[in-house]
Structure 1
Amino acid sequence: MCQLLGMNSRLPASLTLSFTGFSQRGGCTDHHSDGWGIAFFEADGQTPGRAARHFVDKESASTSPIAQMLRSYPIKSHNVVAHVRKATVGAVTLENCHPFVRELWGRYWFFAHNGDLKDFNPPLHGAFKPVGSTDSELAFCWLMQELNKSHATVPSVEELSHTLAELAPKIARHGTFNFLLSNGQALWAHASTKLHYVQRQYPFNSVHLKDEDVSMDLSDFNGPEDRLVIVVTEPLTTNEDWVAMQPGELRAFCDGALLV
């Protein structure tokens, strides 16, 4: 199985610390060495950006020179989706690396999936077709197709959450369907077996990574106005209260908080 990492933030925030620990699971502290990727919306000052940066590599995240660059590059974004892959369906090729990116209603969408889908062969009759050979990209294309059929223009985050809550179970009945999805407005997380999240806000504390002997005092880099949520397959730190999502649960995060 693969592992997922996502971030949703009220203000532009860096994912450097979380990505440092997460990338070690791509072949160092875990066996997810069949490629990796990260996608984020470049912040435009304090405003959520619409421009997308997307990096994928079929090398392991723990040894990839691109991943090494990103571990030191101060990514500033409101929404980020990252993935380390353990191949089960589809060869170890660049086109099969998550996150996948598509355009809908004039916005980019990022999607990453953890799990296996059996006997999932939906008809695709629109503009969304897989480039690679994974069940994950097929599921993403179907989701985009059905969202496009359900709404004429980009709906509110609440409306999108309602539609996704109807669509996700139709895929999840075919197997394990943990996923992260973002269009730059919000981050959606669906748990089939395993996903955890934590909210970080003022007053910020010191955190210690689980996968690497690194500690950081978050109060040195964040102020009273900062607030963010980290979503990951397995908790990244040893001293925070991570919330385990329940099977079948869909959560939307907006402005660094859980959207109820």
Structure 2
Amino acid sequence: MCQLLGMNCNTPTDVQFSFTGFAQRGGRTDHHADGWGIAFFEDRGLRHFVDHAPACDSPVAQLIRSYPIKSRNVIAHIRKATQGQVNLQNCHPFVRELWGRYWVFAHNGDLKDFHPRLHGHFRPVGNTDSERAFCWLMQELVKSHADVPSVDELTLTLRELAPRIARHGTFNFMLSNGQALWAHASTHLWSVERQHPFAEARLADEDLSIDFAQHTTPQDRVAVVVTSPLTTNETWTPFAPGELRVFRDGRQILAAT
């Protein structure tokens, strides 16, 4: 199946270190070689890159590894196709506009017999189960809210909607509208929060380490979520099956229940 990477920060931060290790799983240290993509929020704007080539060899991925794009919310994906052809329109993350904001979604898993009725503005461009799930989520958000909901309100809605999709199979996903990062696990997701005092981290998929203390201030906070831990010397926290976590300003928050 596919792999996911998300980053949420309290100040614009580049994802070069994490993405360098993550991209190696796209055909070099793992077999997820059917395309990749990444989206960076910048205020209300969005930089969105996708490529159907393997991430480990893609010139576009090399650009991301060498270009320090700074963002407070990032979602990346490397694809192992289970449904849909290997082409550009089936590459995650997917992007839609709602209530004057961009929404970004990426999914890891395989949803069986999931063909919801889509009757509104949101229709898939490609033919993956993942994009159908995203379109359905957006359609249901429109039914549930008249305008952009608060982070807590959106969390409550997603907690109601996610199990309705997850009953069709594995539904690990990440979602952001630039205000926060939502991550849901059916099977495997892990998170780590980096804060002062920062230390050195070593990648698991690449012979590379970084001393974050040399690149941060004491006020910085960064949360990273990934399908399997990217580093060998940090304490990653696994998600429980069915768990939805919300990250804002570089830390997990406890939304209203």
Shared fold (TM-score, shorter chain, > 0.5): yes
Structure 1 unmatched ranges of 5 or more? 43-48
2:246 aligned counterpart, secondary structure? strand
Map Cα deviations across residues 67-112 of structure 1 (whole Å, 9 max, x no partner): 0011011010000000000001000000000000000110000000
Q: Distance in 1 between matches of 2:103 and 2:187?
A: 23
Q: Distance in 1 between matches of 2:142 and 2:226?
A: 28
Q: CA RMSD in A?
A: 0.4
1:182 to 2:170 alignment? no
1:1-150 alignment, distance < 5 Å: 1-42=1-42, 49-150=43-144
Q: Distance in 2 between matches of 1:65 and 1:135?
A: 27
Fraction of identical pairs, as percent: 69
Note the C-alpha offset of 1:121. 1.1
Note the C-alpha offset of 1:225. 0.9
Q: Which amino acid counterpart does residue 211 of structure 1 have in structure 2?
A: D
2:184 aligned counterpart, secondary structure? strand
Which of 211, 214, 222 aligns to 2:216? It is: 222
Q: Distance in 1 between matches of 2:253 and 2:137?
A: 21
Q: Distance in 2 between matches of 1:78 and 1:162?
A: 23
Q: Which amino acid counterpart does residue 171 of structure 1 have in structure 2?
A: I
1:241 to 2:231 alignment? no
Runs of 4+ in 1 over 2 A off after TM superposition: none
Map Cα deviations across residues 23-67 of structure 1 (whole Å, 9 max, x no partner): 00000000000000000112xxxxxx1100100000000000000
- How many aligned residue pairs are there? 254
Q: Distance in 2 between matches of 1:257 and 1:87?
A: 32
Q: Distance in 2 between matches of 1:155 and 1:86?
A: 33
Residue in 2 that maps onto 1:46: none
Residue in 1 that maps onto 2:149: 155
Structure 2 unmatched ranges of 5 or more? none
2:130 aligned counterpart, secondary structure? helix
Q: Distance in 2 between matches of 1:121 and 1:136?
A: 11
TM-score between both structures, scaled by the size of structure 2: 0.98
Q: Distance in 2 between matches of 1:109 and 1:221?
A: 29
Q: Distance in 2 between matches of 1:2 and 1:140?
A: 16
2:161 aligned counterpart, secondary structure? helix
